[in-house]
Amino acid sequence: MEIALRGIGVSPGIAIGPALLYGVQTIDVPKYRVNDKAAEVARFETAANEVRKDLQLLYEQTAEELGQSNADIFRAHLMILDDVDFRKEIAERVHSEGLNVEHLIDEYIAKHSRALQSLGDPRFQEKIKDLLDVGSRILAKLLNTTSENLSHLERPSVIVAHDLSPSDTANLDMVNTLGLATDLSGPTSHTAILARALEIPAVVGLRYVGEHTMPGDIVILDGTTGQVIIRPTEATLAHYIAEKKRLEEERKALISAETHRRNVTLDGYEVPILANIELPQEISHSLRNQAEGVGLFRTEYLYLNRDSLPTEEEQFEAYAQVAATFKPRIVTLRTLDLGGDKFASHLRMAPEINPQLGWRAIRFCLERPDIFKAQLRAMLRASIHGNVQIMFPLISGVDELRRVKEVVKEVAADLERRSVPFNKKIKLGSMIEVPSAVMIADLLARECDFFSIGTNDLIQYSIAVDRVNEKIAHMYEPAHPAILRMIHSTVRAAKAARIPCSICGEMAGDPLFAELLVGLGVDELSMSSVAIPLVRAEINEIRMTGAKRFARRLLNVETSAEVRAQLLKRFRARRSVQALLDTSPVQAR
Ligand code: PEP
Ligand code: MG
């Protein structure tokens, strides 16, 4: 039967294909007679002990990286594994029936899952999943099947998962991943940002998608509306196949129509549009979409999915390559922003109750000068290969920014002593993404060369709404009057100090907000490459004079709903409603 679910569309496009359930394996289980029954029981014990070690490690790593509540699932799995009745029943049946353990484990899991299912209580669904998970782990050991790896899929698939970390997403098989559907996460989580960057349609915050999906089920996923359909009827399938074709053609037409246009308003004002990049493969996306530089290079992705820190040399090569590719256009290297929802397992950062408020970004770097200085050295050395500037995340006070600049000075002095060339006039900027930074933007502006507003975090911290929590995603609202005022006052402080102010949060890539941001006086917009043609189309249709008037008016509006209504009205006046629904991933909620 067809099942329709609604989540949060975070990366546009329609994906249609068989489901790959990440975290759940399907295994062909053999059945045969055994002669040496003691050896067969010993085989079971060995496999179970190996699984215990794996689960213990997963438990510790998850607790460390994602916190206790996320790790608890592995504790539940360990309890199932160590259940005395389970172990006893398998051993007794080997002796009484003389059958291989794989078959007996498979039967045990099926029997107990059916019993739980028959109780008809939805609270047992989790327990059934846990049983299946533990069963497949032991079977995988016994049958020596390889564990799942998202970097190499056997066939084109829609990945269905309870959750995907930014590291999982950064590691995806780019050829065979058709789309992503997850239970957890919000619109500006780094998993969502990465899916957009890689142009993979994605829906997050579905809550129960795994429970409704069997491996291989056909899944339709609409990354704009957030609609997910499992086991569609023929009519639904035909509708979405046609819709997918229509959208792809429309997007192609939009890109080719936009390719040679400049980022200029109708009354002749330039609004540079730059790209946010995370992974090397995005460079080509950015160039294809005519990015006028890189407004945000999230360098922490160089630290993920590996066993050790990247060396200074490796980092230098990555930064120099991006700088040279975009030369003479600007490349903004942001220093390491780990913590929050991005963790590098080799750094073994201890779990925290509030990771978004914790030992994250610049706070981590200032306490790990070994790591910070190596990165700064690599950035400074790369500065002679293009037009590089450096920016610091999560700055919350002047003293913090001064400490950061002190470290940069030390690194620069060291390079100079060793006659290593670098751009001595390199610009240093502060991200404005913490409310305290907005309040003292005039003071921070005296201490740096540019501002870049990180609205993803600024919204999270101002409205006190965790950006990765799907339960409160409806409260995550860029159109909140407080956010408009914060952007306005940051821009004013920047202008008074004669430094440029850009925006690199996801809000910059939502065409709905383009006129407002330009009207508020933002100098540059930096976004996922996929959004560039859409925002450029907006810039090409507005007038600076009108945008300023519009922004002034919106600054006096009292509620988010009214701000949104006015933005939509204005937007609709320029475009058809359909175009809006097709193109705006953030606002279509
Ligand atoms: C932001 O917070 O808006 C931002 C651009 O940084 P990140 O999304 O990487 O936290
Ligand atoms: Mg941020």
Distance from the alpha carbon of residue 211 to the mean position of ligand 2, in angstroms:
33
- Identify the DSSP state of 342: B
Taking Cα atoms as reference points, which of 505, 482, 494 lies closest to residue 443? 494
- Please state which of the ranges 216-220, 228-232, 251-255 shows the lowest mean pLDDT: 251-255
pLDDT tens column, 25-71? 456 688 999 999 999 999 999 999 998 998 888 788 667 655 676 67
Beta-sheet strand order (sheet of 8-11): 3-6, 227-230, 218-222, 14-21, 157-161, 177-182, 202-204, 8-11
Residue 431's φ and ψ, nearest 5 degrees, are -75, 145
Bridge partners, residue 389, by sequence: 332, 427
pLDDT tens column, 347-386? 877 888 899 999 999 999 999 999 999 999 999 999 999 9
Residue type, 209: V
Three-state DSSP class for residue 542: coil
Ligand 1 probe mutation, 169, 185, 188, most atoms within 8 A of CB? 188
Task: Supply the residue whose CA is at minimum distance from atom 4 of ligand 1.
Answer: 454
Task: Supply the residue whose CA is at minimum distance from atom 9 of ligand 1.
Answer: 298
pLDDT, position 577: 43
Give the pairing type, strands 3-6 and 227-230: antiparallel
Domain with CATH 3.20.20.60 in the chain: 257-581
- Please state which of the ranges 102-111, 182-191, 247-256, 518-527 shows the lowest mean pLDDT: 247-256
Instruction: Write out the H or E segment, with its range, that includes residue 415.
Output: helix 398-417
Domain with CATH 3.50.30.10 in the chain: 3-23+157-164+178-246
pLDDT tens column, 260-304? 678 999 999 999 999 999 988 899 989 989 999 999 999 999 999
Distance from the alpha carbon of residue 56 to the mean position of ligand 1, in angstroms:
33
Task: Please spell the DSSP secondary structure of 423-466, one letter per residue.
Answer: -TT-EEEEEE-SHHHHHTHHHHHTT-SEEEE-HHHHHHHHHT--
Percentage of the chain lying above the pLDDT 90 cut: 70
pLDDT at 570 over 50: yes
Determine the atom of ligand 1 nearest the C-alpha atom of 456.
3
User: Strands, E, within 162-236: which ranges?
Assistant: 177-182, 202-204, 218-222, 227-230
Ligand 1 probe mutation, 191, 277, 298, 522, most atoms within 8 A of CB? 298
Distance from the alpha carbon of residue 335 to the mean position of ligand 1, in angstroms:
12
Reported as a pLDDT band with limits 50, 70 and 90, residue 334 is very high
In this structure, the chain runs to a length of: 589
Distance from the alpha carbon of residue 457 to the mean position of ligand 2, in angstroms:
5
For residues 516, 457, 225 and 11, what is the CA-based torsion angle, rounded to 10 degrees?
100
Reported as a pLDDT band with limits 50, 70 and 90, residue 145 is low
pLDDT, position 65: 53
pLDDT, position 408: 98
* Residue 136: both structure tokens together: 């497949």
pLDDT tens column, 59-75? 886 676 556 766 777 78
Residues with a CB atom less than 6 Å from ligand 1 = 296, 298, 337, 433, 454-457, 504-505
Three-state DSSP class for residue 474: helix
Determine the atom of ligand 1 nearest the C-alpha atom of 457.
2
Three-state DSSP class for residue 570: helix
Residue 450's φ and ψ, nearest 5 degrees, are -160, 160
Residue 327's φ and ψ, nearest 5 degrees, are -50, 135
pLDDT, position 251: 83
Greater confidence (345 vs 308) lies with 308
- Identify the DSSP state of 350: P
Task: Supply the residue whose CA is at minimum distance from atom 8 of ligand 1.
Answer: 456
Determine the atom of ligand 1 nearest the C-alpha atom of 298.
9
Catalytic residues: 190, 504
Task: Supply the residue whose CA is at minimum distance from atom 1 of ligand 1.
Answer: 454
User: Could you give the angle at which helices 312-326 and 369-382 cross, rounded to 10 degrees?
Assistant: 30
- What does the pLDDT average to over 2-11? 94
Contact 364, 339 (CB under 8 A): yes
Cα 565 to Cα 169: distance, rounded to the nearest angstrom: 34
Query: Residue 159: left if φ>0, alpha if ψ -120 to 50, beta else—which one?
Result: beta
pLDDT at 568 over 90: yes
Distance from the alpha carbon of residue 454 to the mean position of ligand 1, in angstroms:
5
Mean pLDDT of the chain: 91
- 37-143 maps to CATH 3.40.50.1370: no
pLDDT tens column, 444-463? 999 999 999 999 999 999 99
Give the pairing type, strands 14-21 and 177-182: unpaired
pLDDT at 437 over 60: yes
Determine the atom of ligand 1 nearest the C-alpha atom of 453.
3
Q: Omega before 328 cis (within 30°)?
A: yes
Domain with CATH 1.10.274.10 in the chain: 37-143
Distance from the alpha carbon of residue 457 to the mean position of ligand 1, in angstroms:
6
Write the CB contacts of 164 (distance below 8 Å, at least 6 apart in sequence).
22, 180, 182, 185, 191
Reported as a pLDDT band with limits 50, 70 and 90, residue 253 is confident
Ligand 1 probe mutation, 504, 517, 528, most atoms within 8 A of CB? 504
Determine the atom of ligand 1 nearest the C-alpha atom of 506.
3
Reported as a pLDDT band with limits 50, 70 and 90, residue 585 is very low
- Identify the DSSP state of 562: H
Q: Looking at the domain that runs over 257-581, which CATH code has it been given?
A: 3.20.20.60
Residue 154's φ and ψ, nearest 5 degrees, are -75, -30
Reported as a pLDDT band with limits 50, 70 and 90, residue 483 is very high
Which architecture characterizes domain 3-23+157-164+178-246 according to CATH? 3-Layer(bba) Sandwich (3.50)
pLDDT, position 116: 84
- What does the pLDDT average to over 93-99? 94
Per the listing, tokens 């995340």 go with 393
CA–chain centroid gap for 400, Å, is 27
Task: Supply the residue whose CA is at minimum distance from atom 3 of ligand 1.
Answer: 454
- What does the pLDDT average to over 92-120? 90
pLDDT, position 24: 53
